[in-house]
Amino acid sequence: MRHAAAFTCALFALLMISAGCAVGPRYARPSATTPPQFKEIPENWKNAQPSDAVLRGKWWEVYQDPQLNQLEEKINLSNQTLKAAQSQFMQARALVRQSRADYYPTVSGGATVSRNLQSSNRALSSLTTTTNYTDIALPLDVSYEPDLWGRVRKSVEAARANAQASAADLESVSLSLHSELALDYFALRTLDADAQLLESNVAAFEKALELTQNRYKGGVASQVDVAFAKTQLETTRAQAIDVQQQRAAFEHAIATLVGEPTSTFSLARLPLDIAPPIIPVGVPSQLLERRPDIASAERRIAVANAQIGVAKSSYFPVLSLTGTGGFESSTIGNLLTGPSGFYSVAASVVETAFDGGRRAAVSDQAWAAYHQSVDVYRQSLLTAFQEVEDNLAALRILEQESHTQDEAVAAAQQSLQLANNRYKGGVATYLEVITSESLALSNQRTAVDIAGRRMSASVLLIKALGGGWDASSLQNIDYSERPDHITGQ
């Protein structure tokens, strides 16, 4: 036993000496150029938001719409795409525990019982008279590969960074689903406003047709005027029917997003009547911490960096330690006594002398993967800056367009009033009234469309800003938890 103790002490000393021997580059986040400010921020936003205003996790609540809030909450509970992303994250988290297991020895034990009858004519049979015997063994095997060069440490580092990237991917999926729901919801409400406008015009055109028919019967209007009035009415009715088809498609899309069958889901009509809120934007450099897709790209650089260390470790010798011990006897009565004990301890060192360039190729591949991940990260930053600027510009320009369109609607209404007066006074034909009605309706529908586009731009801006998420949450992942829905309990 003294020999075993000496061997253990020597092994412990070797492990302590090699504890700091890890190969591969130390990770640092790659540099990236970020502008100091966003240039497309609307003028009326610059002084309207406090400097510490930030988006929160439930960012949809900035719209103060109870129906939207209720729908958004259902996504976390019932959306199957989000559940699939959650399961993918659980896989990545379990891989961290799997990689950490390599820090520890593998221990296996068992029991064997055999009854043997040996041939009397076997070779060297004269050396023993025992040909019929029982063998009972309780062996315990231990194998361990010390992490001399940091291969396990780098593997765990890669697995941890990959799990963090998967967590960021999960947040990206969640943000996309919540923003898609908000986009569909506001599109549906825009269609409700459009339907309300068309239905009010249908009612007005029905009265106009009835009036024109009465005027025709009285000899004041022509049959052409009646045809014009009827054409205008039926055209508007057809447009209203088309809006119903579009609305049904958005309602079905919302049902799928919240995890409900389309046949049992419906939303009451609620015309859009709000303007987009002011969204706290911050500075471009904050996107590095607020966008989950950027955080995911950055974490995958860390994965690639750790894989370089794993590749480098293959250039160094592999130390393997094995041990076997237990009890063996021919009878169970003295199986657990001292004389029945046995053990064996061994160590081996293996170094690859020639592999035809395999390790060099693996190392080159790891470096190329690292550079690729850096390029993807920097491109994701450029895309993020573009998306924010695009939607800031959209909100700024659409607000200007909305004011101009409101003036166009007012002018069209005035033109229609004048045309009606001229027609009733016998100065103008009914064609002038129809033209004014078409122009007024077209301008009103354009105003409704602009209002919907403004709401969509605000949702897309929130999505581009990360929806209130923060990359610091990636450092708080619990890798030890085993969820019931994963383990099947």
Q: What is the pLDDT along the chain (489 residues), one digit of tens a residue?
A: 455 555 455 555 554 444 456 678 999 999 988 888 898 888 777 655 544 456 778 999 999 999 999 999 999 999 999 999 999 999 999 999 999 999 999 999 999 999 888 777 777 666 666 668 888 899 999 999 999 999 999 999 999 999 999 999 999 999 999 999 999 999 999 999 999 999 999 999 999 999 889 988 988 888 999 999 999 999 999 999 999 999 999 999 999 999 999 999 999 999 999 999 989 888 898 889 999 999 999 999 999 999 999 999 999 999 999 999 999 888 888 888 888 888 999 999 999 999 999 999 999 999 999 999 999 999 999 999 999 999 999 999 999 999 999 999 999 999 999 998 988 888 888 889 899 999 999 999 999 999 999 999 999 999 999 998 999 999 888 887 665 544 444
| 187 domain residue, yes or no | yes
- Is 198:479 a contact under the CB 8 Å cutoff? no
The neighbour count for residue 329, using CB atoms within 10 Å, is 18
Q: Is residue 127 part of a domain?
A: no
- The answer to whether residues 244 and 195 touch, using CB atoms and an 8 Å cutoff, is yes
pLDDT of the residue at 17: 47
Three-state SS string over 39-83 comes to CCCCHHHHCCCCCCCCCCCCHHHHHCCHHHHHHHHHHHHHCHHHH
Q: What is the CATH number of the domain that holds 426?
A: 1.20.1600.10
Say if residues 136 and 267 touch (Cβ distance below 8 Å): no
301-311 exposure pattern, b = at least 16 Cβ within 10 A, e = fewer? bbbbbbbbbbb
3-state helix, strand, coil in the chain (%, to 5): 65, 10, 25
Instruction: Report the domain count for the chain.
Output: 1
- Do residues 405 and 446 touch, judged by C-beta distance below 8 A? yes
Rounded to an integer, what distance in angstroms lies between the CA atom of residue 21 and that of residue 388?
Answer: 45
Q: Fill in the DSSP letter of residue 330.
A: S
Judging by beta carbons within 10 Å of its beta carbon (0-12, 13-18, 19+), is residue 381 exposed, middle or buried?
buried
Q: How far is C-alpha 70 from the geometric centre of its chain's CA atoms?
A: 21
Q: Is 420 part of any domain? A: yes
Report the distance separating Cα 384 and Cα 378, nearest Å.
10
Q: Given the structure tokens 């190392």, which residue do they identify?
A: 363
The dihedral built from the CA positions of residue 412, 417, 422 and 426, taken in this order, carries a sign that is positive
Residue 340 lies in a domain: no
Specify if 215 maps to a domain.
Answer: yes
Asked if the structure places residue 266 within a domain, the reply is yes
Whether residue 322 lies inside any domain: the answer is no
**H-only helix segments in 266-291:** 287-290
Check residue 16 and give its pLDDT.
Answer: 47
**Torsion 288-291-292-296 (CA) sign:** negative
Structural domain includes residue 133: no
**Cα–Cα distances in angstroms (integers) from residue 131 to residues 115, 123, 124, 135, 136, in the given order:** 11, 12, 12, 12, 16
- Which structural domain, as residue segments, surrounds residue 76? 30-103+150-315+358-487
Give the pair of three-digit tokens for residue 309.
């260390």
